[in-house]
Chain A
Amino acid sequence: MNNPILKLDRINSFYGPIQVHFDLSIEVARGQIVCLLGGNASGKSTTMKVILGLLKPRSGEVILDGALITGLPTPQIIRRGVGSVPEARRLFGAMTVRENVLMGAYTRSDKAEIAHDYDRMLALFPRLAERSNQAAGTLSGGEQQMVAMARALMGRPRVLCMDEPTMGLSPLFVDRVLELIQAVNKTGVTVFMVEQNASLALRIADYGYVLQSGRIALSGPARDLLHDPRIRDAYLGGQAA
């Protein structure tokens, strides 16, 4: 692939003494929706932490649009155009929906544009308009996911990183969130999402990787992965001889 917007190059990362990634290499093509799948303890969420600078890998590089970002502090990575929708949303529960969404624009100083973008968010997520002065912690899981997405989008990211966006959501919201991800992608934002639910992710993704015990077990266009029987082994298989 030439000129991927996000690239992980032979990442080896550790949690204390435990190695989580083994020479992990991933490429995210510009403008696509790329998903990283895997079962328990595969290392999916840690991948997100490495990209966002929350965990420094012992070796290997993270490259954003040609520039090395490995080991940069998280706020700087955000400033370079990475948006983050963390696992379990991580909203500022005691702050209002409006304050949460506007926090996403923290790194920006163009007030008029920010206000304009905020209005666009309300249009994209109409439910939020009704609740804009409500404490974010009182919203349902699905509504919170929308606030989290809006918050991340306010930073005008080039790449949107989403960590398990469908976890814990009711089926109705799952569909809505997946639609929103596709809508966002159509505006030119590359989406990189980590997901446990392979079925849902592969429904909307262009390309996928399957992680197993810190290594890529499978990769390919989403459509092919969906029907590849090896994906079952990758999820459920063990490593005992």
Chain B
Amino acid sequence: MTSSLGPWFDYTVNGLVVGNIYALLAVGLALIYGVSHLINFAHGSVYMAGAYIGWLCITYLGTPLPVTLAAVVVGCGIIGLLIERVALRPLQSAPRIAPLLATIGVGLVLDQVAQLLFTPDPRGLPLQLPAWRIQIGGGTIGALDLLIAGIGLFSALLLYVFLRFTKLGWAVRATALDRDAAQQCGVDVNRVNSTVFAIAAALGGVSGFLVGMYYNSIDPNMGFQAGLKGIIAQMIGGMGNVPGAIAGSLLLGLTESYGIAVFGTSYRNLFAFVVMLLVLVLKPNGIFSRGRALPAEPLTGTFIAPSAPVRVPPMLVAALAIIALALPLVVRNGYVLQTLGIGWLYAVLAISLTLVAGTAGMISLGQAGLLAIGAYASGLLAINLHWPIAATVVAAGFITAILGTLIIFPAFRLRGHYVTIATLGVGEIVTLTILNWDSLTRGPVGLSGIPPLSAFGRPLISGTWIYEIALGALIILALTQWRLLSSHLGRTLRAIRDDDVAARSYGIALDRYKGLAFAVAGFTAGIAGALMAHIFSYVNHETFTSQASLLALTMVILGGLGNVAGAILGAVALVSLPELFRAAADYRMLIYGIVLLLLIRFRPQGLLGTV
């Protein structure tokens, strides 16, 4: 009897411990959201910073555990203060989605800095605790489990005392409840924001440090998934709800733990995202809420910085296209041409994103998922059914259009940053599904032996062919998108973006047109992904990551949201040019993050202006 309970006891303990760790993250996020209505995407990076600060202390200073913890708290607190002061306070009067993107940029920069300083390889974070374990009912609890639980409880207690009994704590609560009224009591809201960010960062950093010890492994990318889990846990409990965040975290931890027990480790993250989508769709105010009404959310269109777009004369565009097509006459290096060809395919990704994010106003962070669907669709059709490549690529476009739209459809009712989170989740779900659906996708092994591009039986593998095919696809798809935008659909989508209430009042069915936008974007991105698959000849679940989605978003914002020419320009600037000059490959992502931050702060309408 006890032996069959044993593992389940362990799973429960594990679930609660993991939940405890998520709680340290989620509580900080709830505090931040409560006070500033902001979803902090940089939180995962602070978590990672905590792990590294701890590692530095242990490795180089040999400090005992309590001192290390103190160093983590202080160090991360300072990072939190800096993030608020530098990246967010200047954006206070900017539209709501600007700070969200700023936190994404900050997170990216922090992750990249860590990667450059510490290399991407995982390091160990050795346990500094005695190795005993207690036997309870057939399962065991270790010293680290108790420490984590202890810290969790202690932090909760400290926070409670702070919020309940200190003046600043009251100011935090008051600001979260009614910012204007708090100001009219004399509360300095900026100080409250700083305090909250510092506290949240400290908690997050401690969480990262504990995780590092728990799994004896830290790496610069550990923050991304953790940050998302924290956001999800907070959403489950109700945005801005601190006790809810704790409950949501424990629930999430337990769900993951039991889920792994039943399905296997690789499903771990899938649970979190599926739960997230369910919550977003069924109970967007959190599982403890009573109503189904969505919380008030500014229209996505308010991010579009109003601007008069730079008019690019069609003759100039035609001339540039001809020059681009003729480039292989001058550049002979096959490798360079292939790389530029991939750059053109990223431009295709960019124009697909600018359609949904720019024209239709749905800032998507899951565009890479569309690439993956297209890649796998075309690859599998070619490998399993031996269709000619031209057919598989086009079919992949349609498959991605249909599948992509179906998956994202439940999120259409969302607005503002909820859309962004939902698309992020969908992108992750696509990746995880590919990883786990072994029978179809070969799972972690990946899809190898994808036939190269070919026409009429002749393989087209030279750099020149790749370059011209990619460019040709871009030209055709860009022209199609231009034509779409100049039709009644262009103004209909932009009307939805600018004011969906007014749009509905004039007969525009939102789902119909959002679906249309995603379908076209899916077709476009699917083709890009398919072509990439045949060029790379091998893809797996890690080929198209959320970093690619982030890169696409940076390209699109750089060029100007909704601006097709701008998207292409953004792709050239951020992908093709650096490739040409082999510039600072290691620093590439860091530069993207900084570019994103600078754009949001100083030129949100991008180089060519929003359309």
Name A residues whose Cβ lies closer than 8 Å to a Cβ of B. Answer: 52, 54, 73-75, 78-79, 84, 86, 90-95, 99, 102-104, 106-107, 151, 155
Q: For the complex, what is the distance from the CA of A93 to the CA of B167, rounded to whole Å?
A: 18
The reply to whether A75 and B188 form a contact with Cβ atoms under 8 Å apart is yes
Identify the interface centre among B170, B186, B188: most chain A CB within 10 Å of its CB.
B186
Q: Which of B173, B178, B184, B188 contacts A84 (CB 8 A)?
A: B184
B171 at interface by CB-CB < 8 Å:
yes
Residues A95 and B174 in contact in the complex (CB < 8 Å), given A54-B180, A86-B180, A106-B167: yes
Residues of chain B within 8 A of A95, CB atoms compared = 170, 173-174, 177
Residues of chain B within 8 A of A102, CB atoms compared = 170
The reply to whether A106 and B177 form a contact with Cβ atoms under 8 Å apart is no
B183 at interface by CB-CB < 8 Å:
yes
Could you list 18 further interchain pairs (A-B, Cβ under 8 angstroms) beyond the known A78-B185, A106-B167, A155-B185?
A: A73-B188, A74-B184, A78-B186, A90-B178, A90-B181, A90-B184, A92-B173, A92-B182, A93-B178, A94-B173, A94-B177, A95-B170, A103-B174, A103-B182, A103-B185, A106-B186, A106-B187, A155-B186
Residues A92 and B177 in contact in the complex (CB < 8 Å), given A75-B186, A104-B185, A106-B171: yes
Residues of chain B within 8 A of A74, CB atoms compared = 183-184
CB-nearest residue of chain B to A107: B186
CB distance from B477 to the nearest CB of A (A): 39
CB-nearest residue of chain B to A154: B185
A sample of 29 cross-chain residue pairs with beta-carbon separation below 8 angstroms, ordered by A number, consists of A52-B184, A54-B180, A54-B183, A75-B183, A75-B187, A75-B189, A78-B183, A78-B185, A79-B186, A84-B184, A86-B181, A90-B178, A90-B181, A91-B178, A92-B174, A92-B177, A93-B177, A95-B170, A95-B177, A99-B170, A102-B170, A103-B170, A103-B174, A104-B185, A106-B167, A106-B170, A106-B171, A106-B186, A155-B186
Residues of chain B within 8 A of A99, CB atoms compared = 170
Residues of chain B within 8 A of A107, CB atoms compared = 185-186
Interface residues on B, range: 10 to 19
- B177-218: contact bitstring with A at CB < 8 Å (1 yes, 0 no)? 110111111111100000000000000000000000000000
Q: For the complex, what is the distance from the CA of A86 to the CA of B180, rounded to whole Å?
A: 9
Q: Which of B178, B185, B189 contacts A106 (CB 8 A)?
A: B185
CB distance from A45 to the nearest CB of B (A): 12
The reply to whether B171 and A91 form a contact with Cβ atoms under 8 Å apart is no
Residues of chain A within 8 A of B173, CB atoms compared = 92, 94-95
Q: Which of A52, A92, A155 contacts B178 (CB 8 A)?
A: A92
Residues of chain B within 8 A of A155, CB atoms compared = 185-186
Residues A86 and B177 in contact in the complex (CB < 8 Å), given A106-B167, A106-B171: no
Q: Which of B174, B178, B184 contacts A78 (CB 8 A)?
A: B184
Q: For the complex, what is the distance from the CA of A86 to the CA of B171, rounded to whole Å?
A: 18
Residues of chain A within 8 A of B183, CB atoms compared = 54, 73-75, 78
A-B pairs, top 6 by smallest CB distance, nearest first, are A107-B186, A90-B181, A78-B186, A84-B184, A74-B183, A92-B177
Q: For the complex, what is the distance from the CA of A103 to the CA of B189, rounded to whole Å?
A: 14
CB-nearest residue of chain A to B190: A73
Q: For the complex, what is the distance from the CA of A84 to the CA of B167, rounded to whole Å?
A: 20
- B85-104: contact bitstring with A at CB < 8 Å (1 yes, 0 no)? 00000000000000000000
Q: For the complex, what is the distance from the CA of A99 to the CA of B164, rounded to whole Å?
A: 9
Residues of chain A within 8 A of B181, CB atoms compared = 86, 90-92
Q: For the complex, what is the distance from the CA of A155 to the CA of B186, rounded to whole Å?
A: 9
Q: For the complex, what is the distance from the CA of A152 to the CA of B20, rounded to whole Å?
A: 41
Q: For the complex, what is the distance from the CA of A93 to the CA of B176, rounded to whole Å?
A: 11
CB distance from A74 to the nearest CB of B (A): 4
Q: For the complex, what is the distance from the CA of A11 to the CA of B409, rounded to whole Å?
A: 51
Q: For the complex, what is the distance from the CA of A95 to the CA of B174, rounded to whole Å?
A: 8
CB-nearest residue of chain A to B175: A92
Q: For the complex, what is the distance from the CA of A90 to the CA of B184, rounded to whole Å?
A: 10
CB distance from B177 to the nearest CB of A (A): 4
